């Protein structure tokens, strides 16, 4: 008996040892976290965020604040806190800031933020942004902005959830993730402008911004397939960032990356028209994920029923994969170009 037990113990010890060695050497299964981003969950969130109840999410309106509270509830449910150094999930964007040059009469509004602290380099920040405001109610019609930018808004919820799931399982990001829902975009990128002038974390420690604005539809140029995304800005400041976008896409997501609008001289000027620009201005590498415009752009018909959730899901997965790689790679991505 004794001898038998002894060898059994050794066998158990060897087995245990080889299993733990295997676990340590095994690459973190990022695919599992990518796959936690699903069409169904995106649809559940978007059906609420872009419902009439949110009154088109006009900057500073009660409808926008209601949408904001829904976002915060999701972070609380997931156990995702507001950032270190903040006192709540809100960054107030004062009316004076938004109205000073524009002559508009907007009330105070709020950016909303959530935070997944990095395990190894917590002071290096990867921002993932999307605007949650839209244009409100006009002539009695609610402009639900399901694509613009309800799609990016719910993408952020799913990306945050995927990072948090990884963190709970011991695979949290090495660098910190700042989830940033910005306000006032439709009036002039005010929320991101305010953040970049009043950053919670030093600009010098801000590694990149992955900005997601309109990722649930297709444009005229892609009538035959929604399996694409326009990437804009990824190679303007950092060759590393461009390569990361290409690599994670070919490894995990397999969208057609379209660089048609990756051109500062393009007459549409998309590079200057969403929130990433307020980070790029300060020399922070950015990538903008965008599906292009369509007939419902800034119309009351930008509705949830027209969202293609298979496309929204893959584009959200791409945004997550890019942020994951930036946050987890050994070296911080290098700024090796002047952005011009």
According to CB under 5 A, which residues from 245 to 274 bind Zn ion?
Answer: none
How many residues line the site for Zn ion (CB under 5 A)? Answer: 3
Q: How far is the CB of 188 from Zn ion (least distance, A)?
A: 12
Q: Is the Cβ of residue 149 or residue 325 nearer to Zn ion in the bound state?
A: 149
Q: Cβ neighbours of residue 193 under 8 Å, at least 6 residues apart? A: 278
Q: How far is the CB of 211 from Zn ion (least distance, A)?
A: 10
Binding marks (x or -) toward Zn ion, 206..235, rule CB under 5 A? -------x----------------------
Q: Is the Cβ of residue 58 or residue 149 nearer to Zn ion in the bound state?
A: 149
Q: Cβ neighbours of residue 325 under 8 Å, at least 6 residues apart? A: 244, 247, 248
Q: Cβ neighbours of residue 2 under 8 Å, at least 6 residues apart? A: none
* Nearest by Cα to 286 from 333, 250, 324, 249: 333
> Is residue 147 at the binding interface for Zn ion, with CB under 5 A as the rule?
no
Q: Is the Cβ of residue 110 or residue 213 nearer to Zn ion in the bound state?
A: 213
What is residue 15's three-state secondary structure? helix
The span of 78-86, 141-149, 199-207, 301-309 binding Zn ion (CB under 5 A) equals 141-149
**For Zn ion, which residue of 148, 209, 219, 275 counts as binding (CB under 5 A)?**
148
The span of 35-43, 205-213, 255-263, 290-298 binding Zn ion (CB under 5 A) equals 205-213
Q: Cβ neighbours of residue 40 under 8 Å, at least 6 residues apart? A: 309
For residue 228, which phi and psi values (nearest 5 degrees)?
-150, 165
Q: How far is the CB of 213 from Zn ion (least distance, A)?
A: 4
Q: How far is the CB of 254 from Zn ion (least distance, A)?
A: 26
Q: Is the Cβ of residue 110 or residue 148 nearer to Zn ion in the bound state?
A: 148
What does the alpha-carbon distance between residue 177 and residue 199 come to, in Å, rounded to a whole number? 14
> Is residue 133 at the binding interface for Zn ion, with CB under 5 A as the rule?
no
Q: How far is the CB of 296 from Zn ion (least distance, A)?
A: 13
Q: How far is the CB of 175 from Zn ion (least distance, A)?
A: 27
Q: Is the Cβ of residue 173 or residue 184 nearer to Zn ion in the bound state?
A: 184
Q: What is the DSSP string of 109-134?
A: EEEEEEEE--SSEEEEEEEEEEE--B
Helices marked H in the chain? 2-25, 30-34, 39-49, 62-78, 95-99, 152-168, 185-188, 190-197, 239-248, 277-280, 309-328
Q: How far is the CB of 186 from Zn ion (least distance, A)?
A: 7
Q: Is the Cβ of residue 153 or residue 164 nearer to Zn ion in the bound state?
A: 153
What does the alpha-carbon distance between residue 143 and residue 246 come to, in Å, rounded to a whole number? 35
Residue pair 317/227 in contact by the 8 Å Cβ criterion: no
Q: How far is the CB of 244 from Zn ion (least distance, A)?
A: 24
> Is residue 149 at the binding interface for Zn ion, with CB under 5 A as the rule?
yes
Q: Is the Cβ of residue 67 or residue 80 nearer to Zn ion in the bound state?
A: 67
Q: How far is the CB of 88 from Zn ion (least distance, A)?
A: 25
The span of 65-73, 143-151, 197-205, 284-292 binding Zn ion (CB under 5 A) equals 143-151
- Beta strands across the sheet bearing 286-290: 90-93, 109-116, 175-182, 121-131, 206-212, 286-290, 228-232, 256-258
Q: Is the Cβ of residue 95 or residue 293 nearer to Zn ion in the bound state?
A: 293
Q: Is the Cβ of residue 115 or residue 132 nearer to Zn ion in the bound state?
A: 132
The DSSP call for residue 37 is -
The residues that touch Zn ion, with contacts defined as CB under 5 A, are 148-149, 213
């Amino acid at each position: 008996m004794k001898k038998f037990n002894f060898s059994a113990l050794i066998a158990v010890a060897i087995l245990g040892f080889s299993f733990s060695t295997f676990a340590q050497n095994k690459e973190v299964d990022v695919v599992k976290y990518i796959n936690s981003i699903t069409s169904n969950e995106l649809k559940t969130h978007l059906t609420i965020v872009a419902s009439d109840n949110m009154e088109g999410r006009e900057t500073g309106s009660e409808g926008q604040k209601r949408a904001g509270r829904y976002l915060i509830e999701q972070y609380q449910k997931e156990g995702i806190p507001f950032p270190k150094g903040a006192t709540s999930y809100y960054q107030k964007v004062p009316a004076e800031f938004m109205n000073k040059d524009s002559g508009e009469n907007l009330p105070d509004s709020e950016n909303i933020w959530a935070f997944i602290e990095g395990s190894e380099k917590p002071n290096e920040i990867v921002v993932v942004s999307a605007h949650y405001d839209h244009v409100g109610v006009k002539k009695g019609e609610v402009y639900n902005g399901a694509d613009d930018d309800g799609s990016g808004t719910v993408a952020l919820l799913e990306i945050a959830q995927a990072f948090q799931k990884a963190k709970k399982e011991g695979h949290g990001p090495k660098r910190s993730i700042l989830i940033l829902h910005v306000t006032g975009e439709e009036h002039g990128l005010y929320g991101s402008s305010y953040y970049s002038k009043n950053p919670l974390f030093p600009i010098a420690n801000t590694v990149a911004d992955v900005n997601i604005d309109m990722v649930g539809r297709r444009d005229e140029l892609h009538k035959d397939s929604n399996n694409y995304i326009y990437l804009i800005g990824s190679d303007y400041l950092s060759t590393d960032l461009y390569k990361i976008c290409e690599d994670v896409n070919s490894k995990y997501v397999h969208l057609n990356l379209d660089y048609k609008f990756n051109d500062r001289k393009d007459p549409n000027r998309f590079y200057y028209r969403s929130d990433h620009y307020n980070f790029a201005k300060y020399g922070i590498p950015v990538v903008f994920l965008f599906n292009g415009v369509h007939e419902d752009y800034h119309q009351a018909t930008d509705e949830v029923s027209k969202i293609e959730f298979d496309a929204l899901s893959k584009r959200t997965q791409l945004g997550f994969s890019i942020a994951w790689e930036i946050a987890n790679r050994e070296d911080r991505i290098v700024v090796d170009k002047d952005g011009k």
